[in-house]
Structure 1
Amino acid sequence: MRFSYAMLPDYPLSESLASIKKADELGFYAVYAADETWHKDLWLLFAAAAGQTSRIRLGPSISGVVLREPTLIAQAAATLDELSNGRAEVAVSSGNFGLLAQYHIDWAKTKPLSRVKEAVHVIRTLLDDGVVTFDGEFFKYSGLFTFARPVQERLPVKMGAMRGPKSFEASAEFSDGCHHALSYTREAYEYMMKHCTIGAERAGKNVHDLDLGSWVVFSVAEDSAVAKDAARSMVGLYASSMPHEQLERNGVSPDEVAPIIEAIGAGDMAKGIELTSPDLAERLSIAGTPEEVTEKIKTNIEPTGINHMILAITDASLVKALMGREIAGVPNVDTQLQLVHDKVMPAFA
């Protein structure tokens, strides 16, 4: 089982760089960040981090191909790969539909899966060949070339998936893996693995050779209540991006989260947190003591064949920045990284 840190680049950049260095020193597999306008630019941050780290891999999870043109994703990834001496990778999807709405883009009208499949082909071609000629439904090029060349023989290109079976099948068939965001139950991951296996077999691959990532809201502390309260503060924000089918696979009725999403959508973060019950937060996060988070991963996720935990670590600074709520006693990111290294990772060695 690999362990990675999924950051939101909303901290002071000096703090983000320090956390990336800490994750590198502790042997985390990768640091990922959201490629979204809401946050600081991950490509610039990771370019700076590349020169201050030696082992950890760097890249977006997720980069949305509606707002970020796929040839520009390939160009940036290849440049980061050279800067990091072969440690870049990318995971792509259609993007955050809440963000797209602010651009007056209706995600449902973008043919999201078809667009992402086409984008993966474009990115893969430009990374491998340095030139692309393509006449697709969404992207068209005539001899477009780049001098940005990766160091790795094959820079990994993965897909994000959350919704229905076709997205999971496509990720395994057409890319190097699947990053599945915001699922916590065995049922949800068995569903993912069933359909990733179908896609992998269609392409003549062994599904277990792929990167099969579980991207989760996460908080760990020696004080269980403190960690769970931190996660509860963020659950509503993340649940707002979960399709109804995915909520149901996680044992949550869409009606249960509708008032929370409505409050957050109206800008009333405090009410959104108030409406998020501890029980709901428990179902839509991995939080608690090192022993509790280890048990949840051991019980619900590892047995399904998932080989990569991607931890969206939540601390007091992030809750304050995004939700405007003050919480006390929550370990900072670096302390949580250390706790994961010392008390969680050994159980999966």
Structure 2
Amino acid sequence: MKAYIDYSKPDTTFWREYAHLWENSANRPAFQSPNVLQYFAEKSPTPVAIYKFYNDDDELKGAALFHKRGKAYGFLSDMKTDHNSFVIHKDCGDVEVKFFLECLLAEIRRERWLIVLNNQPMWESYMDVFDQLGRASRLFWLSTKSSVCPMVKFDTPEALHERLSKSRNNRYKLNRLQREYTVEFEALDRDKDLENWTNEFCDSHIVRWSDTPTPSKYRDPERRVFLLNCMQAWHRDGILVRFSLKANGKRIAFIIGLVQGNSLIYHNLTHDPEFNRHSPSLVLVIFLGEWMKQRGLSVLDFGDGNESYKYNFANEEGQLNSIFIASKGNIPFIVRSKLISAVRGNSFLIQLYRQKVRPFTRLMLSA
């Protein structure tokens, strides 16, 4: 077995190997899908560094793609993500997984990297081993809670469906909407109307967040193009599903969904504020339950963030951590990392973190 960091530009041979690896990984992590990472690699302002793990037969069995922002490396998928995972072949056992993680830490030390691994899903099976190895290494290692993913998680699709459909309040809103309008549910997993649907999503998002402290990023034409390209890439990877709610033929609520294993990731949403009293985004979730039951999905992952609407349905939280790694002699990086961790761990400073320190984290990456 061998593992190393490759700084050469990824070519068609690598992308072919990587696509085969991703197809045969445990859950086919949505934010590490091959076409979207290839798009990010082309768009990244800095070169991509790829950590590669090969078995004795010279087959790619694990990989992670990084790029550099300022002095620190991070996941390439940070460009648009809810959580970032390593891509490891489903046939790898404990020995291979440990080798993959040990060698990554050794390469980070040898290359003297500063690295911030954002949005780390602590529910991944390899995370306990990764944490043990990091703490035992000769590196500075700090793993700190950064956010959560509220989830609706059950053993069976039927139980999930029951959870999503049982709210009397949401049922009342659906019935009221149906009395006043002809209501239709859309679930689109092909490329039909993709560009128009994405434009409608962006237009609705702009209206939804106008006259608020956080206006829509889709006012910027480049962000609209970026979203469309992501959507097209996820479609090519076979994981994109677009959900809409129509009232009298007009789309009034939108969800960008990504299928990952037995989960549906509720990645982005918006709705027409003219329909606020009907809570169309919540009504749309009722329809999701039936769609997921028909496809054997038993987990609805609401993605990064603890927004209150998610807890109308969620019965679990998945923890997301940030992991800071560097040589033990890099005092400025260590001080900044500990400051970020301290602020995140203090409930009285959470608001300060959201307004000041999160931008400071980004600044740290570009310092």
| TM-score over 0.5 for the pair | no
Bigger relative CO (Cα 8 Å, ≥ 6 apart): 2
Higher helix content, 1 or 2: 1
Which structure has the larger Rg over C-alpha atoms? 2
Higher strand content, 1 or 2: 2
